[in-house]
C-alpha cells in the first residue's frame, strides 16, 4: 500500500505567488517524521523541511512551511513568494519507527512537478 500520496502530478504558479503542494500519509506509528525534498532537473534531491510527529508547531524554513494536520494525516508544503528557481519536482517522504522493512530510510511519494511562470 502506498504510504505517501501526492495527488498533484503537476502544478503551475505565477512568480511571487504562494503555492501549496499536497501530501497525505498513512501510518499506524505514533512516532514518525515527515520530509519534503526538491529535485531540480540536475537530479540532486535537496532537503527542504522536516516535521516530527510530536512537534506541535508547523515547521518553517525561510519561504517553506509545512502545514501539518495530524488528525487528517496531511503534511502539505507551502512555498511563499514563488521564484523561477523553484521550478522542480517536489517529493514528500516519511520515516517511521516500526517499519521493519524500511525502518532506516524514507518512503517517498511520486512527486509533484512545479512550474513557476513569470
Partner 1 sequence: ETGVTQTPRHLVMGMTNKKSLKCEQHLGHNAMYWYKQSAKKPLELMFVYSLEERVENNSVPSRFSPECPNSSHLFLHLHTLQPEDSALYLCASSQDIGTVALGELFFGEGSRLTVL
By CB under 8 A, name the binding residues for partner 1.
2, 4, 31-33, 35, 37, 42-47, 50, 52-53, 91, 93, 95-97, 101-111
Alpha-carbon gap, residue 108 to 61, rounded angstroms: 20
CB of 117 vs partner 1, minimal distance in Å: 23
Residue 13, all three cell numbers? 504558479
Using DSSP, state whether 86 is helix, strand or coil. Answer: helix
Shortest gap between Cβ of 50 and partner 1 (angstroms)?
Answer: 6
3-class secondary-structure state, position 37: strand
Q: Which three cell numbers stand for residue 67?
A: 502545514
SS3 84: helix
In the complex with partner 1, the residue whose CB is nearer, 19 or 109, is 109
Q: How far is the CB of 86 from partner 1 (least distance, A)?
A: 18
| Nearer Cβ to partner 1 (72/100) | 100
Of the candidates 77, 88, 81, 17, the one whose C-alpha atom is nearest the C-alpha of residue 46 is 88
Looking at the Cβ atoms of 12 and 47, the one nearer to partner 1 is: 47
Q: Which is nearer to partner 1, 14 or 31 (CB)?
A: 31
Q: How many residues does the chain have?
A: 118
Minimal distance in Å, beta carbon 118 to partner 1?
A: 27
Amino acid at each position: 500500500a502506498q504510504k505517501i500520496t501526492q495527488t498533484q502530478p503537476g502544478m503551475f504558479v505565477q512568480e511571487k505567488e504562494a503555492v501549496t503542494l499536497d501530501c497525505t500519509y498513512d501510518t499506524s506509528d505514533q512516532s514518525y517524521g515527515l520530509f519534503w525534498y526538491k529535485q531540480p532537473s540536475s537530479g540532486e534531491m535537496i532537503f527542504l523541511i522536516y516535521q516530527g510527529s510530536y512537534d506541535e508547531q508547523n515547521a518553517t524554513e525561510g519561504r517553506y512551511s509545512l502545514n501539518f494536520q495530524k488528525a487528517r494525516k496531511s503534511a502539505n508544503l507551502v512555498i511563499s513568494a514563488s521564484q523561477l528557481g523553484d521550478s522542480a519536482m517536489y517529493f514528500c517522504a516519511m520515516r517511521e519507527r516500526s517499519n521493519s522493512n524500511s525502518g532506516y530510510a524514507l518512503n517517498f511519494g511520486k512527486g509533484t512537478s512545479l512550474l513557476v511562470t513569470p
